[in-house]
Amino acid sequence: MHAETITANGFVGFLGRGAAPRELECLMAIASGQTSKEAAKQLGISAGSIDKRLLALTTKLGVHRRAAMVAEAFKRGMIQPAVVALCAILVGNSVTSTTEEFTRVRRPGERSIASSRIYRRAECALAVA
């Protein structure tokens, strides 16, 4: 991840998309199912501070409820599950990888080692039967 992201509670938050860093942390805590008290304990601030940050964010997003705030944040690309980011990194790595395992193109009639073993076992089984 680069400096423009915050990772917490199984989510990746993107800075510069309308939320202050602390608002984004509070949003990710709420998106993960935490209450204001639980989020406050984790972030080291009061539950009232969490509520104020979330109120400011609901105003910025033009929504009135927490569930709508989380849905709008997903829609605007402010947050996403960390799994999605991890998959994107892995796919990018496999595309740019130059290892023979991923990029080798086989000629017609050429078998991989694994399929050769399978065919040999099948031939041995038929010969025994």
4, pLDDT greater than 70: yes
Question: What are the angstrom distances between the C-alpha of 32 and each of 39, 63, 79?
Answer: 10, 19, 11
Look up tokens 């009232």; give the residue: 48
Question: HEC states along 58-102?
Answer: HHHHCCCCHHHHHHHHHHCCCEEEHHHHHHHHHHHHHHHCCCHHH
What confidence tier does 6 reach under pLDDT thresholds 50, 70, 90?
A: confident
Question: What are the angstrom distances between the C-alpha of 28 and each of 6, 12, 32, 47, 70?
Answer: 9, 8, 6, 15, 8
Instruction: Please name each of the domains of the chain with its CATH number.
Output: 5-128 (1.10.10.10)
What are 6's strand-pairing partners? 13
- Kindly report, residue by residue over 59-112, the tens digit of the pLDDT: 999 999 999 999 999 999 999 887 765 666 666 666 665 555 555 666 666 656
What confidence tier does 1 reach under pLDDT thresholds 50, 70, 90?
A: very low
- Kindly report, residue by residue over 31-42, the tens digit of the pLDDT: 999 999 999 999
pLDDT score at 18: 87
What confidence tier does 116 reach under pLDDT thresholds 50, 70, 90?
A: low
